[in-house]
Amino acid sequence: MNVFRKKSVEQILLETGNKGIKMNQTLGAFDLTMLGIGAIIGTGIFVLTGVAAAEHAGPALVISFILAGIACAFAALCYAEFASSVPVSGSAYTYSYATFGELIAWILGWDLLLEYGLASAAVASGWSGYFQGFLSGFGISLPKAITSAYNPAEGTYFDLPAVIIAFLISFLLVQGVRESARLNSIMVFIKIAVVLLFIAVGIWYVRPENWTPFMPFGFSGVAAGAATVFFAYIGFDAVSSAAEEVKNPQRNMPIGIILSLAICTVLYIVVSFILTGIVPYTELNVKNPVAFALQYINQDWIAGLLSLGAITGMTTVLLVMMYGLSRLFYAISRDGLLPNGLSKINKKTKTPIRTTILGCLLVSLLAGFIPLDRLADLTSIGTLFAFVSVSIGILVLRKSGQGVKGGFKTPFVPAIPILSVLACVYLMAQLQAETWIAFLIWIAAGLVIYFIYGRTRSHLNK
């Protein structure tokens, strides 16, 4: 049994909907751009910016965002070509099946389960924190035991709000992708309006002296900050999971991926510049830095609006990441590497209900019991590993000459894919040793599952 057996792109395309029911192709370029923005702007900017400024980059946080954005831009160009050439659910997992073979595809799929699962859990955890802060403004407080992840020393055991929002999002996803996309677009407009409101108000309170010293931790701090805020960019790759539900994917997939990343990068740079100009970086190590900055300048009512916008923003991130998680489970199951029953499409809603429920249970367990900071770092390393694989995969795809003709092509090959690999590996090297150990343990567990279950049950083994 050859563990590096491959599927041709033609074979992958033929297998979509081979069980008689195909998913509805209803999404256009606008829908995909909104999905991308919905996935990107969330916990990263509303929660992690303060920690990155206070502990790593200082006012040079803006450079950290630029570095992380450049790394993502290189990877996004590679994703855009794959999404255009292989318009099938599964993202990097499916692309790897055509370029590297089954074992590497499984490792990528297992890695993406880590990325989407942990990212969803991290966002649900961040959502819970902002939601509790919103309730406290009305004098409402939940019992301490059910407001945060397991930590008996602090009297917390389970994050109930995080679990509830995961179940609500799953219920919405089951109804159909068109309905989910409409609600996502509405919430995206709300959170963009909130970010623009912060920029419009905060720019008048910037004090240039807060930018001195500009790089208090040196360039190593800026690099570490880039690895931390990289989490803020995670999500544009989830757009590629929608490929089977997109009208004219050769045109619309690249537009959605690249445009959503470009819009979010500009907003991130401006927000980080203003944030560190309002508040001295030493005071930004808080859970809600953007709202804290508005409170710092006595704009409490706008801070309240921003907290509501942050809740909305994180809801859209959770929606898109859990959507990507369900489609990933679906794609892996369809190939036989996970139980076949998971790949059934509901006749009425044209959605994979079983994988949506499975994703909901996974996210609920992670969000309910594991602290946010550990979730964020593990998500980043999983995503960077996927970006490296996709970037190398472009070189293999070009050499093989496979893929749908007439779609988007990554410019300046091989330079762009190579730069993407180098940038992502550099960011991976900035992450802590504990994160690497946990990641390697996860990959090892995935290999055990493949050799015990997936290798013999794979459809390519028949």
DSSP class per residue in 282-300: GG--SS-HHHHHHHHTT-H
Q: How confident is the model at residue 338 (pLDDT cuts 50, 70, 90)?
A: very high
Using CA atoms, how far residue 24 sits from 246, 326, 348, in Å, is 8, 16, 11
- The better pLDDT of the pair 62, 153 is held by 62
How many helices (H) and strands (E) would you count in the chain?
A: 18, 0
pLDDT in tens, 8-47: 878 877 777 555 556 677 888 898 899 889 888 876 777 7
pLDDT in tens, 245-269: 888 888 888 999 999 999 999 999 9
Using CA atoms, how far residue 290 sits from 43, 58, 264, 330, in Å, is 11, 15, 16, 37
Cα–Cα distance measured from residue 263 to residue 314, given in angstroms and rounded to the nearest whole number: 17
Rg (the chain; Cα; Å): 21
Q: What is the pLDDT of residue 374?
A: 65
The SS3 call for residue 156 is strand
Q: What is the pLDDT of residue 376?
A: 67
Q: What is the CATH number of domain 9-18+30-461?
A: 1.20.1740.10
